[in-house]
Amino acid sequence: MSPKIYVTGTGIISALGDNVPETFRSLSELRSGVGPIRHLQTVHENEFVAGEVNKSLKALGGMLGVNNRAYTRGAMLGMIAAQEAVLSSGIGDINEVRTGLVSSTSVAGMSLTELHYKELFEKTDHLSCIDSHDCGDSTVHIANLLGITCFMTTISTACSSAANAIMLGARLIKSGKLDRVVVGGTDALSKFTLNGFNTLMILDKQWCSPFDEERRGLNLGEGAAYLVLESEEEIKRTGKQPLAELRGYGNANDAYHQTASSPEGLGATLAISKALDTAGMKASEIDYINVHGTGTANNDLSEGTALLNIFGEQMPDFSSTKSYTGHTLAPAASIEAVISILSLQHQIIFPNLNFSKPMKEFNLVPVVKLKKGVHLNAILSNSFGFGGNCSSLIFSVPRS
Amino acid sequence: MDALIEKLKREIIQQLNLVDLKPEDIDADAPMFGEGLGLDSIDALELIVLLEKTYGIKIKDPKDGKEIFKSIKSMASYIHANGKS
Amino acid sequence: MIIYINGTAVISAQNHISPGAFPEQVNVPAQDHFGALEPSYKEHISPNMIRRMGRAIKMGVSASIRCLEDAGIKEVDAVICGTGIGCFEDSEKFLLALIDNKETLLTPTSFIQSTHNTVAAQIALLIKCHQYNMTYVQRGFSFESALQDAILMLQERDGLNILAGGIDEMTAGYLTLQRRAGYIKKDVFSGGTLVSETSPGHYMGEGAAFFVLGSQQSASSYAILEGVEMIYAPLSTQVLESAISDFLASHSLSLGDIGLTLLGNSGDVRYEQKMTALQSGYFKDIPQGNFKHLCGEYMTNGSFALWLAATILRNGKVPPSVRTNSLPGNSPVHILVVNHFRDREYTLMLVSRC
């Protein structure tokens, strides 16, 4: 019998708010965080909408009590969310047992580097960009803030990154290497990614409509979210009441194309199957799916096909919450994990906002209104990234 | 038109980094995508930018590219009809 | 559960003709950096794929294909990569275009190729591998994180074959910035090991090294990968020594069992205090060697060190150019690699004779 993995803390900052309670309020009040671009300095600011964290760099620094010039936006977002997760888990002394950090990012320090890159070759004012550019930078700052010394690493697999961080955290606990792990991811909005996605012509200039026949593409977002995973022994030792249980996880590769997903949804189907397998659960035990649902022509078609492959006629309730948050890239899976855990805690399904017409290829209609009083025991959460990287997680109400 | 076709061949070779090919290796009538040159959807996006950058023609919907980029000849015809060479 | 290294391939500043052999002549780049000697990529990658690839991707994909050939297998159960700075060439290309063209008329290829997991993704595409695919990006822990993941996986399930590797590239732009930041030596490399350097700076390097790890011994087995450990910013040499002792003890070994220790001296005197202390103190009775005078300094050069250790164990001899002290011991049974990146990420790898 596989050891149980519990979630004891959550932390989040995104376009929906600065923490878990604010996020819950926005979700419940159907308030999307997607809107005009206010903080990112870009020539496209009036062309696209995005799910920005409504805080300047200075304000983020203020929240942490640090000089914002010493940190990238992504590092500060990560520090804020990871700190909330650890506080909410009731951890006093982080090192009383073996505690690690598995973070993830795709933008890393690029949001800062892109402002100064050419100057770096001529002036010395911003040379520290060189040190904050790589993916490990934000992780080190988070570890330092939390006092984690035991284990740290960072995963970067595009849009599935945080799911993979959560998966590694669980495996490290199951193997006996660690007793608890802070897991998740962070990404700031950047000109690099905004323009990059624009070259792929998959950005929606309007508010996105995931899984809709008329969908036009995705809205980018930014943010960070972390979970605290703990072993069964730790739960017994501390007598904590966990928020949720991580029942299953799976990663597979589409191996079809560098950016597009296969029409038959092979990678996605495999990832979901693996998650059900590690959970020892049947598809019929899933009560709700938080789909990847970016709103692109390709993803939603591919993912829809995968869902039908797995669930067939017995499709559970599902929704994409990316019309709330935008597509936050690396942290998407951890942001959606926090949302899924809120769903479990409050027995609520948050709707797929801005949906009107199902895709002509199938009859898949997401939940479009806030659905309360549901019986939610197990939730499947999907995250699929560039490079065919497909990951799925299954959370449930904690078993005793 | 012939001059445009030859020019296009050189531009496509450069844009798509087809380092092993010379203009004379490319058949202007052959399909560019799938078989023939074996280009894919990323190359289509590159060609869309090439059209705008070099010929001032903007394609709003990438799906339109399928017909326009069928072959180098069809691409040249489209430019001839719509843009400034 | 024993983990065998059943195949390797490496690209570095050395001239690697065959994966299981130490180059006959040591290449001494008379520069402040060690550029990789690249193989012919056309041999293993189609022109249609090569045309899009930056050097990191070409090195990574080429090394992994040759590694699979070396192991005599076509399929694996996981592809796990580590990279410190990722596909920097492509990032730079897209970023410069973005800046120069003021965010207009940009093309997608370099953006797509710049994502850090591109190497692992391209490998999966080439060998049609639908299995677990992961990329680690934690500076001097990137490659070792990939190894740790592979070890975990092999312990979780029997009979797997895993492809794991480390890749980092150097671009002219990246090297220039590293020089401007004071990380690179002012003088060019003139040979020897890096064991007694007294100036600041290191010689930047680049490369890729891949391994097939499996639980079955085969005719192509190089060595046994006993374990890996990562220690972040140890506060003192004593803390590091303690960690090393604990690591060895966890594998039922003590210091006296180590036939060779490969030390990651980078030559940057600002970061070398603990290494120097280990050389003259903790490891004073152990045969010692260096490796960064062969490959240069980059975040994933632990992969080069693992290749070196595995090759030494398979061939049963230590190349004289690697040795830094003169204690006898030419045919080690256990090799301990102690590496560090800028005195922050310390890593240990224990490799043993099959």
Give the domain CATH number at A377.
3.40.47.10
B 19-38 residues with CB below 8 A of C?
19-20, 38
What is the spatial distance between Cα B35 and Cα A49, in angstroms, rounded to a whole number? 38
What is the spatial distance between Cα C281 and Cα C274, in angstroms, rounded to a whole number? 10
How many Cβ atoms sit within 10 Å of the Cβ of residue C328? 5
Query: Catalytic site residue A159?
Result: yes
Opening angle at CA C113, ends B57 and B48, nearest 5: 10
**pLDDT > 80? residue A1:** no
Buried b (16+ CB within 10 A) or exposed e, B28-43: beebbbeeebebebbb
pLDDT tens across C266-275, in order? 999 999 999 9
Determine the straight-line distance between the first and last CA of chain B, rounded to whole angstroms: 10
Asked if A121's CB is within 8 angstroms of C130's CB, the reply is no
Q: Reduce the DSSP state of residue A179 to 3 states and report it.
A: coil
Asked if A134's CB is within 8 angstroms of C84's CB, the reply is yes
Q: DSSP assignment, residue B39? A: B
| Across A117-140, average pLDDT | 96
Residues in chain B: 85
Same domain? A219 vs A263: no
**pLDDT > 70? residue A36:** yes
Task: Report pLDDT for B85.
Answer: 47
Nearest to C135 by CA among C156, C125, C150: C150
Same domain? C267 vs C134: no
Same domain? A179 vs A144: yes
Q: Reduce the DSSP state of residue C147 to 3 states and report it.
A: helix
Task: Report pLDDT for B84.
Answer: 57
What is the spatial distance between Cα C222 and Cα C225, in angstroms, rounded to a whole number? 9
Asked if B45's CB is within 8 angstroms of C105's CB, the reply is no
Query: Catalytic site residue A327?
Result: yes
Question: Subunits touching B (CB < 8 Å, at least 3 pairs)?
Answer: A, C
Record the pTM. Answer: 0.98
Give contacts of C52 with chain B, Cβ < 8 Å.
17, 42
- Identify whether A243 is part of a domain: no
Same domain? A304 vs A378: yes
Same domain? A254 vs A216: no
Task: Report pLDDT for A56.
Answer: 98
Provide the pLDDT confidence category of residue A275 given band limits of 50, 70 and 90: very high
Q: Reduce the DSSP state of residue C207 to 3 states and report it.
A: strand
Asked if C51's CB is within 8 angstroms of B19's CB, the reply is yes
Among A211, A238, A265, the domain-final residue is A238
Among A206, A238, A270, the domain-final residue is A238
How many Cβ atoms sit within 10 Å of the Cβ of residue A2? 12
Among C189, C214, C239, the domain-final residue is C214
Same domain? A104 vs A172: yes
- Identify whether A319 is part of a domain: yes
Same domain? C209 vs C233: no
Nearest to C48 by CA among B68, B19, A92, B63: B19
Same domain? A149 vs A194: yes
**pLDDT > 90? residue A205:** yes
Same domain? C186 vs C313: no
Q: Which amino acid is at C191?
A: G
Average pLDDT, rounded, for chain A: 97
Task: Report pLDDT for C215.
Answer: 96
**pLDDT > 50? residue A354:** yes
Are A225 and A338 spatial neighbours (Cβ–Cβ below 8 Å)?
Answer: yes
**pLDDT > 90? residue A2:** no
Q: Reduce the DSSP state of residue C274 to 3 states and report it.
A: helix
Q: Reduce the DSSP state of residue B17 to 3 states and report it.
A: coil
**pLDDT > 70? residue B70:** yes
Q: Reduce the DSSP state of residue A392 to 3 states and report it.
A: strand
Task: Report pLDDT for A338.
Answer: 98
- Identify whether A244 is part of a domain: no
| Across C330-337, average pLDDT | 95
Q: Which class for A121: exposed (0-12), middle (13-18), buried (19 or more C-beta within 10 A)?
A: exposed
Nearest to B42 by CA among A228, A9, C48: C48
Better pLDDT: B35 or A369? A369
pLDDT tens across C23-82, in order? 989 999 999 999 999 999 999 999 888 999 999 999 999 999 999 999 999 999 999 999
> Which one of A39, A133, A141, A292 is the catalytic residue?
A292
Domain of C251? 223-352
Q: Reduce the DSSP state of residue C169 to 3 states and report it.
A: coil
Among A217, A238, A259, the domain-final residue is A238
DSSP A268-309: HHHHHHHHHHHHT--GGG--EEE------HHHHHHHHHHHHH
Nearest residue in B to A259, CA atom: B42
| Across C173-195, average pLDDT | 95
Domain of A185? 5-238
Nearest to C151 by CA among C136, C137, C162: C162
B21–chain C nearest CA distance, Å: 10
* CATH at C148: 3.40.47.10
Same domain? A87 vs A200: yes
pLDDT tens across A56-91, in order? 999 999 999 999 999 999 999 999 999 999 999 999
> For chain A, what percentages of helix, strand and coil (3-state, to nearest 5) are there?
35, 20, 40
Enumerate the H helices of C157-214 as residue ranges.
Answer: 172-180
- Identify whether A316 is part of a domain: yes
Provide the pLDDT confidence category of residue A307 given band limits of 50, 70 and 90: very high
| Across A25-45, average pLDDT | 98
Instruction: ipTM value, please give it.
Output: 0.98
Task: Report pLDDT for C346.
Answer: 98
Same domain? C184 vs C243: no
Asked if A257's CB is within 8 angstroms of B41's CB, the reply is yes
pLDDT tens across C231-261, in order? 999 999 999 999 999 999 999 999 999 999 9
B10-14 long-range CB contacts below 8 Å, 24 or more apart? Answer: B11/B50, B11/B54, B12/B47, B12/B50, B12/B72
> C-alpha distances in angstroms, B11 versus A200, A232, B15, B19?
20, 62, 6, 12
Which of C109, C112, C122 to substitute to test the interface with B, most B CBs within 10 Å? C109
Strands C78-83 and C132-136: parallel
Q: DSSP assignment, residue A85? A: H
Among C194, C214, C234, the domain-final residue is C214
Residue C117 CB contacts under 8 Å (≥ 6 apart), including other chains: A156, A157, A158, A385, A386, A387, A389, C81, C133, C134, C135
Q: How many domains does chain A have?
A: 2
Residue A95 CB contacts under 8 Å (≥ 6 apart), including other chains: A147, A148, A149, A150
Same domain? C99 vs C195: yes
Same domain? A206 vs A309: no
Among C214, C246, C276, the domain-final residue is C214
Nearest residue in B to C47, CA atom: B20
Which helix (H) or strand (E) element contains residue A251? Answer: strand A244-253
Nearest residue in B to C106, CA atom: B49
Provide the pLDDT confidence category of residue B64 given band limits of 50, 70 and 90: confident
Q: Which residues pair with A284 in a beta bridge?
A: none
Which helix (H) or strand (E) element contains residue A246? Answer: strand A244-253
A 149-168 residues with CB below 8 A of C?
149, 151-158, 164, 168
Tokens of A101: 């950090």
Same domain? C271 vs C312: yes
Task: Report pLDDT for A249.
Answer: 98
Are A293 and A210 spatial neighbours (Cβ–Cβ below 8 Å)?
Answer: yes
Nearest to A344 by CA among A24, A11, A29, A32: A24
